[in-house]
Amino acid sequence: MGFFDSKPNDVVAKGIIRDFGDIIGVGDVVDGYLALIESEIYKKTVFIGFIDSGEDEDPYNIDEFPLVRMAFNHLNSFPLRLPFIPLFDKKDFLVSYTFIWNIWRCQLGRELTPEEEKMVYNDLTTRIIFLLEDFDSNLETPPVDDEFFRKLGKIKKLDKCAKKLADRFLDLRQAIQMNTFDDSPMTFGVNEIAWTRFLAGCSAVHSGRNFISADDIVMGNKVYIKLVNTDLDSLIRSL
C-alpha cells in the first residue's frame, strides 16, 4: 500500500479549485489529472519498473547531444536539497528522458529496441524544454540555448503560492493513485515531483523569472499531463 491515507479524489480536487481556482489553468490541471483515472497508459507508467536514465550520466557519447552537454555544464551535481542551493541538478534534467522512455514503452506495450532507446535522446526533450505545451506543434524545434541552462541553473526557490500549489497537485496525484490503483509508489512519486518542478523551472526561465511562480507550477503539470496523453511513437518518429 501507499505511504499515506488519501481523501476521495473529488474532495481533493474541489479543495484545489476552492483555494487556487483564481489562478489561470488550475482547473485544467485538476481536470487533466482526474481524466488520468481512465488512462491505462498512466496506470502502467505508475507501476512499470522505472528505468532511471540518471544512473548513467553519459548513456551515449555526450558530444552527440548538445542539449545534454549544455545542461551538464550549468546544472549542479549536489545531491542534497538545501536552502540557497540551486533547485535543479543533472538528475532533474535527466528525468525528462526517464519519463519519455517509460511512457513510450508503456504505450508500445514492450521494451524499446536499441535503436528506439537512442531515439529517446532526439529532439523531443528539446521541444518539451523550449516549447513546453507546444512540444507537439508544427513549430520548428528551437536551437539549444546555453544561456537558458545558465539561468535555469541559478533558480533557487519557489514562491509561497507555488509551493502550496505544487503540494496540492501532489496530494491529487497521490489520491488518484491510491483510490484508483490501490497504491502510490514512492519512487514514481519522487520522479513526478522532480519532473513537474523541472518543467516549472523551464517555464520560469521562459517568463523571465529567477524563481518559480504558481503559473509555472500550472504549466509544468499541464506539460506532464499532455505528454502522458500524446502518441509518442508517432511524434518521436516524425522528428
Question: pLDDT per residue over 157-182, tens digit each?
Answer: 999 999 999 999 999 999 999 999 88
- Given this model, what pLDDT does residue 237 score? 97
pLDDT at 216 over 90: yes
3-state secondary structure of 158: strand
Report residue 55's pLDDT band, with 50, 70 and 90 as the boundaries: very low
Q: Is residue 173 part of a domain?
A: yes
pLDDT: which is higher, 173 or 85: 173
> Does residue 118 lie within any of the structural domains?
yes
Tell me the torsion sign for CA atoms 82, 87, 90, 96: positive
Domain of 205 in residue numbering reads as 9-238
Mean pLDDT, rounded, for 50-79: 71
d(CA 227, CA 232) in angstroms, rounded, equals: 8
Q: What's the pLDDT score for residue 126? A: 97
Residue 40 domain flag = yes
Q: What DSSP element (H or E) covers 5? A: none
Alpha carbon separation from 157 to 23, 70, 105, 115, 170 (Å, rounded): 19, 22, 34, 38, 18
Evaluate whether residue 217 is within a structural domain.
yes
Domains in the chain, number: 1
The stretches of 109-159 forming alpha helices (DSSP H) are: 114-119, 123-131, 146-152
Give the three cell numbers for residue 127: 521541444
Under DSSP, is residue 212 helix (H, G, I), strand (E, B) or coil?
strand
pLDDT digits (tens, 9 = 90+) for 221-231: 999 999 999 99
| Cell numbers linked to 91 | 538528475
Using the predicted structure, report yes or no on whether residue 74 has a pLDDT greater than 70: yes
Residue 58 scores a pLDDT above 60: no
Question: pTM here?
Answer: 0.92
Give the pLDDT band of residue 53 (cuts 50, 70, 90): very low
Does residue 1 belong to any structural domain of this protein? no
Amino acid at 195: W
Span 181-208, pLDDT tens digits = 888 888 899 999 999 999 999 999 999 9
The share of the chain scoring above pLDDT 90, in percent, equals: 80
Residue 82 has pLDDT above 90, yes or no: no
Whether the CB-CB separation of 50 and 99 falls below 8 Å is answered with no
Instruction: Print the SS3 string covering 52-93.
Output: CHHHCCCCCCHHHCHHHHHHHHHCECCCCCCCCCCCCEHHHH
Which tens digit of pLDDT belongs to each residue from 100-122? 999 999 999 999 999 999 899 99
Is a pLDDT exceeding 80 seen at residue 49? no
* Residue 4 within any structural domain of the chain: no
Provide the CA 239 distance to its chain's centre, in angstroms: 20
Q: Does some domain include residue 121? A: yes
Quick check: is 14 in a domain?
yes
